[in-house]
Structure 1
């Protein structure tokens, strides 16, 4: 048996039927108010059925956490009925549905927020050229956003999802509190590495408490993180090792590293003997499952990643080839579609948002 076909069970009881999951990707298919569309449902359902789980694109937990137009929302009870339809569509033939939840923080702009200023840990703009200077969140606002992560989790439970993933990666709000670039506070929420971890600790505690107090069965909580930043100052790989060491001892069900290449090594000169995934797995030491990701496009890639990580997440390849898993396990890898054209978009249910993602990330695979 290939390792990728083996089931895995998390501490809260949920079992994935295999170790291949769909990575969270931005698709920009939702209505202006974050409500799920039929196109969105069709897109996810096409990719469900064979793989173990689908992790949705990010859903914002409160209105000023919106990062882009067409984004999923889980900030209002009115969104629950359509979220329930999305969860049900993903759960075709036993695929599990994981809702990724987040707040964009400073990684948005006032036009998306309808004239309101973005907020963050501190009034420091992103290094992106379009970045606006955010407003530093007050202590009360921080407590409110933590509570909104908890409320979003309750809505995910009500909608019938199998879990939530806290999006602590890709420069969004959770990462902004952990980063010395975006967090220059001098109160309980910032300063030392330990204080910059406080926000993460409290979000994780609030969300897992909602799950455990609800007595819902087989509902999991994961955490996605970026292992490095390229700003000065910024998160260094030693910070990431501290982060996973702390999180591995919480009641989370899994950790999910965000990478563009699963074979990448850390930037720090002292960490060049192994890949990022290998160093992370060594630090975790079996305490919690680790999801790896990044340029996993073949069976060989998946099996190689799974020698270190517990689960392999596939992204771009599932946009062009929704039937990747079945073709691999039936020895039909030569039939996998690696390149697509604009004529394939309707067949593959790829919207403008997902198409833009493809153009940005895999121009070499578009005919």
Structure 2
């Protein structure tokens, strides 16, 4: 066995439900703008996911919609109707045929839903928001507060998406509670200004994501699938003065530790980013979160890890049990294989615009890539364009 295979990177890990993952490498969920308009699998999507899971332990899909008014991306895959089941089955099979565990990320955009692609439905969030601009700087219509009945319906929708994922043969789901989408909006004092049981105090602001988690766990139990993996993804802080702090995140983690979860996944722009407020600002967010978890379940960390050495250093930090890569897999569909085979010198760290055949992008994603936005990989010969709303 080569030295490459001896590193923790290629050690198996057994979750608390007895499921073994073959190594510590994870494909992070990546928006690809490639599904058909109805949320079913397209040929472009088959190409995109068709060779990116090999030699990874886990492959987490692009954010997959649980209710139509929450659509935040053109070409977003869907999991809220029986009509989506065949595509979900094929997606799971494509990933599993490459040897990785297939994890369906389930999602609702909340106020970040895009007006032009939600079929004239109201945009909804924890609280009313005026018209303005969305996260991408586009004009955005006003958002209205969810009613209590609608909140209950959305909790059930996450359960329904989990039911579809289990029936489709996925190995697990990841609850998308990060990146400013609906679950995070409920946790945030900035976006959640409700005065009922779903807002106000911190415990009330946590109520919705925890109810969603319970609905997902109940769907798993209804199928008798102890071997089904459930993860939760979160963004640990927000920049707004009344936004999420590390204290809020610790409270959420403490509550999630009481649930039958298999992992926590922290979304970060920079793996080594230090806490902003609500904790020791001299320490990294991942270090603090890992300490707070206290071994209840493993932690997945992500954040501009581009090379094999980047991944090894991340795992050697002791802050995470798994390292996730997104941009690196956009650039190198065979990223894990190159490490496994000792061909690390072949790993590229930027997109070559002359090698369109290499990347398997859908047309829209490729046009975005050529604009060199900061949320996509570096483009050879170009400086980064716009930054995300909160680079975290």
TM-score between both structures, scaled by the size of structure 2: 0.90
| 1:140 Cα deviation after fit | 0.4
Which residue does the alignment assign to 2:169? Answer: 160
**Does 160-169 or 44-53 show the bigger shift?**
44-53
Correspondence for 2:263: 254
Describe how 1:220-235 pairs up with structure 2 within 5 A.
220-235=229-244
Do the aligned partners of residues 281 and 366 (structure 1) sit closer, same or farther apart at CA in structure 2, a change above 3 Å counting? same
Q: Secondary structure at the match of 2:72?
A: coil
Counterpart position of 1:79: 84
Counterparts of 1:166 and 1:363, CA distance in 2: 25
Give 1:342's aligned residue.
Answer: 353
Change (3 A) 1:109 1:45: closer
Segment drifting more, 111-120 vs 274-283: 111-120
Q: Does residue 366 of the first structure (1) align with residue 380 of the second (2)?
A: yes
Q: Per the alignment, do residues 357 and 146 of structure 1 end up closer, same or farther by CA in structure 2, a change over 3 Å counting?
A: farther
Alignment: residue pair count: 367
Task: Tell me whether 1:110 sits opposite 2:121 in the alignment.
Answer: no
**Structure 1 residue 93 displacement after superposition:** 4.0
2:292 pairs with 1:278: no
Q: TM-score, normalised by structure 1?
A: 0.95
Name structure 2 gaps, 5 residues minimum: 1-5, 382-392
Unpaired runs of 5+ residues, structure 1, are none
8 Å Cα contact 1:156/1:163 also seen in 2: yes
Alignment correspondent of 1:145: 154
Partner-residue secondary structure (3-state), 1:334? helix
| SS at 2:373 equivalent | helix
User: How far does residue 331 in structure 1 lie from its aligned partner after superposition?
Assistant: 2.6
For 1:258 and 1:117, locate their aligned partners in 2 and report how far apart those are by CA, in whole Å: 28
CA distances 1:245-271 after superposition (whole Å, capped 9, x unpaired): 221221111100000110110112852
- Could you tell which deviates more after superposition, 29-38 or 262-271? 262-271
- Look up the match of 1:19: 24
Q: 1:202-351 to 2 correspondence within 5 Å?
A: 202-268=211-277, 271-306=280-315, 307-351=318-362
Match of 2:195 in 1: 186
1:216: Cα distance to partner?
2.5
Please give the per-residue CA displacement for 1:230-250, whole angstroms capped at 9, x wherever unaligned: 123211121112111221221
Q: 1:161 to 1:284 in 2, by over 3 A?
A: same
Aligned residue number for residue 75 of structure 2: 70
| Cα drift, residue 357 of structure 1 | 5.7
CA distance, structure 2, for counterparts of residue 344 and residue 75 of structure 1? 37
What is the deviation of 1:75? 1.1
